[in-house]
A and B are shown apart, each in its own frame.
Chain A
Amino acid sequence: MAINWFKYSAPSTFYGLAGKLIPFFAWPAVILFGIGFYIGFFVAPTDAVQSEAYRIIFIHVPASILSMFIYLIMAGYAALGLIFKTRLSAMMASALAPTGALFAFISLWTGALWGKPMWGAWWVWDARLTSELILLFLYLGFIALQASIEDPRRADRASALLAIVGSVNVPIIYYSVQWWNTLHQGSTVKFSGTSMHIAMQQSMFIMLVACWLYAIAIAFSRVRSIILERESNTQWVKELTNTKGDQS
């Protein structure tokens, strides 16, 4: 059962593999979003304190978790690309950045829409909110830095350094509610357990898995375009477009 994993680290093989895998992530994501939404809105009870407004949690928490995890994975790929000079890892880092930025945006947006009715303010310069905003800026900085350097290899190196240095912000976001006196509430879900109603936990967990699957599917499909763009002068890409046209 020896699978040659290194084979798939070549852009030419990964291109086809990613293409085959996308539906296996995309369709379960759609189904789980549906199930998570159903449980969150039709099974989970109304909150005693926050009434119906608390239902924002089912998208706010998964989006926030994803914004942090995707950053760490992006920085990990960028570091691999920097150390081992593997082309595919640098491409994966660039493919993850826009998706991570969008999850950071969703986290901030849903947080603002939740903060207004509960705290009376769309935004406060609280440690949790501010560090999440910095995360969004780090993603945007990574994307802008890559776009501003003409040579892709130099762009990869420069943006990898930014990604690695910026990853110090992720634990700051995570522990901000413990380290500082913040308006943002403490973690709803802790390693030691949670006080949430079972249906609320289920909805949040299912939405989290759905967001994960969505992120993988979209990153795979974006990396396929990046491979085509960067490998456009290689023989296999030329053959691909000559014979198959728009297919796979």
Chain B
Amino acid sequence: MNWSEFFAMNGYAFYVWGSYGVTLLVFLIEIIAVRHRRKLALRQLRLMNESGDKE
């Protein structure tokens, strides 16, 4: 079996790779979103701390 045959999936390439590709994309987007949320939460806490120190 060669690689182009493998990627062709016997004519079902769009359906098979469309399934796995979008799944991978969804996981990556979720990981980025979770990291972003953490960054925002920490930034918010730092802002609260700084304003608290000045008082």
Contacts and interface: CB of A to CB of B under 8 A. Distances in A.
A63 B19 CA distance: 11
A105 interface: yes
Given A51-B12, A52-B9, A52-B12, A241 B42 contact: yes
Residue of B41, B46, B52 contacting most chain A CB atoms (<10 Å):
B41
Contact of A218 (B11, B16, B34): B34
A225 B41 contact: yes
Interface stretch (A84-92, A108-116, A173-181, A195-203): A108-116
A160 B1 CA distance: 52
A53 B15 contact: yes
B21 to A, nearest CB: 10
Interface string A199-238: 0000000000000001000100110110011001000011
Interface string A127-169: 0000000000000000000000000000000000000000000
Contact of A60 (B6, B19, B40, B44): B19
- Interface secondary structure of A, over-half rule: helix
Interface string B1-37: 0000010011110111011101100110011011001
A59 interface: yes
A114 B19 contact: yes
A221 B19 contact: no
10 contacts: A52-B11, A56-B19, A63-B23, A102-B30, A113-B18, A222-B34, A225-B37, A238-B52, A241-B45, A241-B49
Interface of A: 37, 41, 46, 51-53, 55-56, 59-60, 63, 98-99, 102, 105-106, 109-110, 113-114, 116-117, 214, 218, 221-222, 224-225, 228-229, 232, 237-238, 241-242, 246
